[in-house]
Amino acid sequence: MKKIEGLIAASFAAYKDNGEINLDIIPEIVENLIADGLAGVFICGTNGEGPNLTIEERMAIAEAYVKAVNKRIIVMVHVGHSSIYEAKKLAAHAQGLGVDAISSVSAFYFKPSSVKALVISMAEIASAAPETPFYYYNIPHLTGISMDMLEFLNLAEELIPSFRGVKYTASTLHEYEACLNHKDGKFDILFGFDEMLLPALAVGAKGAVGSTYTFAAPLYNRIIECFQNNQLKEARDLQMMSIKMVQSLVKFAPIPAQRAIVGFKGINLGPCRLPLLELKASDKELLIEELEKKEFFSTVKDCIKNHSF
């Protein structure tokens, strides 16, 4: 598998009103992602509420996405779990589906005490899907695991035959750049902070995974296009729009707020699953009103018109 280029949408979980997962809506989600110019989809991660789902639910979601995508875009499946044995079941299942890649966070209750312990844990998970490219999911602000990623790359290369790279969801751009350039760029380091995409492009990013790409991919595709064409003023202005949007999200709760935006754009993802709480109707109205005042939605529409890929 060659290095991933472009945007991978970290899709959101969808539920029925009774709280059961909604598989029926997945084809609609996929068609919207493809129409928006996404390179792929990352499922059952943070925004897909993987830790809130049973492994049976996660397997069913993976099956539905693989069927709906039908090899048109990349499918990456997050298989991380607090139990490595459960993670291995998810990894083996994903390989059986023929997905393009799997990824895993560290165990997040009993945490590895060293880079070596972390890599050994990831190697155990990856061993259940030896033919499928494996990416470590580095997201220290949620897992509480902050390790030296250069040391991780060296050990992972040695101990994980299927290792391809890292989904790097951290704001430490200096380490991100160092990982990109490690061993002459041998590994695929996907950037994970949407509101910092332009700085990541400046240090060499080619691929990125993010939640807001689910509903604002044209904005980010335009940022990439402007960066590549040296239209830096427009790229900075558009990245600032992303920042303004994220500033609105964090006034509420980021995942429920983003789910509300997806709903506003026409796809009803249903209620959240505890411990997440769906935004109140009044808060949804405030969020949408604030984003409209910031001209977020109109900017995304303009990016569709201006996009020349």
Distance in angstroms (rounded) separating the CA atoms of residues 13 and 233 = 36
Instruction: Dig out the tokens for 93 from the structure.
Output: 């299942």
Q: Would you kindly state where each structural domain of the chain is located, as residue ranges?
A: 6-229
Does 105 count as an annotated binding residue?
no
Instruction: Dig out the tokens for 152 from the structure.
Output: 């991780």
Distance in angstroms (rounded) separating the CA atoms of residues 10 and 7 = 10
pLDDT number for residue 2: 86
pLDDT number for residue 304: 86
Longest dimension (CA), the chain: 53
Number of Cβ within a 10 Å radius of residue 174: 8
Distance in angstroms (rounded) separating the CA atoms of residues 295 and 131 = 46
The neighbouring-strand residues paired with 168 are 138, 191
Q: Give CATH superfamily name and number for 6-229.
A: Aldolase class I (3.20.20.70)
- Whether the Cβ atoms of residue 139 and residue 108 lie closer than 8 Å to each other: no
Give the relative orientation of helices 84-97 and 55-69 as an angle to the nearest 10 degrees.
20
Distance in angstroms (rounded) separating the CA atoms of residues 209 and 54 = 23
Residues labelled catalytic: 137, 167
Q: What is the pLDDT along the chain (309 residues), one digit of tens a residue?
A: 689 999 999 999 999 999 999 999 999 999 999 999 999 999 999 999 999 999 999 999 999 999 999 999 999 999 999 999 999 999 999 999 999 999 999 998 899 999 999 999 999 999 999 999 999 999 998 888 889 999 999 999 999 999 999 999 999 999 999 999 999 999 999 999 999 999 999 999 999 999 999 999 999 999 999 999 999 999 999 999 999 999 999 999 999 999 999 999 999 999 999 999 999 999 999 999 999 999 999 999 999 877 654
Say which amino acid occupies 260. Answer: A
